[in-house]
Amino acid sequence: MPRVPPVRQSFPADFWRLWSVGLITSVVRWLETVVVGVVVYRETGSPFLVSMVTMLRLLPMGLFGAVLGAYVERLDRRRLLALMMAILVVTSGVLAIVAAFGLLQVWHLAVGALINGFGWLTDNPLRRTMIGDSVGRERMPTAMALDVLAQNASRMIGPTLGGVVLVAGGIEGTFMLCAGLYLLAVGATLSVRRQPVPASRPQPVLARVREGLAAVMADRRLAAILAVTIVYNLFGWPCTSMIPVIGRDQLALGPEGVGLLTSIDGVGAFAAALLLAWRLSARWHAASYVGGVALYQLAFIGFALAPGVVSASGALLFTGLAGASFSTLQATLVYLAAPHEMRSRIMGVLSVCIGTGPLGFLWLGWLADRVGAPTATAATGALGLVVLLALRPMWRRI
């Protein structure tokens, strides 16, 4: 009997509700990344500050990811996720009002980015863990590929939409749109059926955190997966903050052009995620994961050194392809390798590893202020390749 391609497998309604929450929040995240980057650079002229404001979105994951993962294990994840989405509605609404009165300053955008980072913090311990529980282990890789597909579609929609809305409606119109989208996410979250909360002996949160960290250190495969995640978030992901800077200074693009340029990364990512959702098999998990990080670094080096818009666009197409390959397998490999009773807390540890990104943003912003965004981006990508190669004895175990 012929094998049915994974993407054709039926998924429960709760999966699609959680999938839509991820799509909505990712669209807003990319929309805000472009708009805030353009506005901060326009007001300050500092690549360092652009990088720092973007970095604030990752800071909560590094500081609180493991704690949240342990804390939510015995709570109603659905309510917590809806509460977080509601907080983001309020944050965007307040920023829209402040901007409408002409009072918006860079520090307002920084505070908004930090609060949005707490929303991002909930993605792995709450939403993606709920996805895994709703579809089961066997369908988790396909479910994650579809989830990454949605996020990569948002990388096409969000930046382009952000550039257009910024020109047409100003920064206040942008944040009003964000508030409306987050409100849709609240409704989708509340429509998810309650999942049973596992019963277990009472245990302090910090003790559960220590148990989760010990489990990661004892499992060489989990340790290797998370080490590769750290490389990506230190040396790969921060390079995205330089797209508005390089687009404006080196490629002479306006807000709409920067939005379109950023969305090209999403085009490549969407295509790769679609292919992975259709044909991904277990034997390619490790190669897709580690190879995706290596190609991502190489592609950003090419983008930083590109002489024109066409070559820069081609390089960003490859960053999208590589990033989707990595992103699809990141949460999947951790979820499948983690013991069932520790999934939330180990997904929280994953969030901590993703949260190392602020160190990369700090480094890249500092270097860009001194040697320029193109040189700093290329150097950071090259450094990431060196570190990844040095970690080969670890990631061979994946």
**Average pLDDT over every residue of 290-307:** 92
Q: Which of 137-151, 197-211, 260-274 has the lowest mean pLDDT?
A: 197-211
- Indicate if the alpha-carbon torsion angle 185, 186, 187, 190 is positive or negative: positive
SS (H, E, C) 284-352: HHHHHHHHHHHHHHHHHHHHHHCCCHHHHHHHHHHHHHHHHHHHHHHHHHHHHHCCHHHHHHHHHHHHH
pTM reported for the whole predicted model? 0.71
* Number of Cβ atoms within 10 Å of the Cβ of 140: 20
The answer, yes or no, to whether residue 205 has pLDDT greater than 80, is no
Report DSSP letters for 95-160, one per residue: HHHHHHTT---HHHHHHHHHHHHHHHHTIIIIIIHHHHHHH-TTTHHHHHHHHHHHHHHHHHHHHH
Q: pLDDT-derived band of residue 202, with 50, 70 and 90 as boundaries?
A: low
For 301-340, what is each residue's pLDDT tens digit? 999 999 888 898 889 989 988 888 888 788 788 888 787 7
List the chain domain ranges: 12-194+204-395
- Helix then strand then coil, % of the chain, to nearest 5: 85, 0, 15
Statement: residue 1 has pLDDT above 60: no
Are 174 and 31 in contact by the 8 Å Cβ rule? The answer is yes
Query: Which pLDDT does position 2 carry in this prediction?
Result: 38
- Average model confidence (pLDDT) for the chain? 82
Asked if 310 contacts 393 with a C-beta cutoff of 8 angstroms, the reply is no
CA angle 317, 278, 303 (to 5 degrees): 10
What's the mean pLDDT in 218-239?
89
CA 62, CA 81: separation in Å to the nearest integer? 19
The reported pLDDT for the residue numbered 4 is 40
The domain made up of 12-194+204-395 has a fold known as Growth Hormone; Chain: A; (1.20.1250)
Q: Take residue 236 and report the two structure tokens written for it.
A: 């790969």
Q: Which two tokens stand for residue 300?
A: 């950003």
Residues 104-159: pLDDT tens digits? 888 999 898 889 888 887 887 888 888 888 888 778 878 887 887 787 777 777 77
Please check whether residue 222 is in contact with residue 346, taking contact to mean a CB–CB distance below 8 angstroms.
yes
Is the pLDDT at 357 greater than 60? The verdict is yes
> Average pLDDT, stretch 193-200?
64
More confident residue, 232 or 102: 232
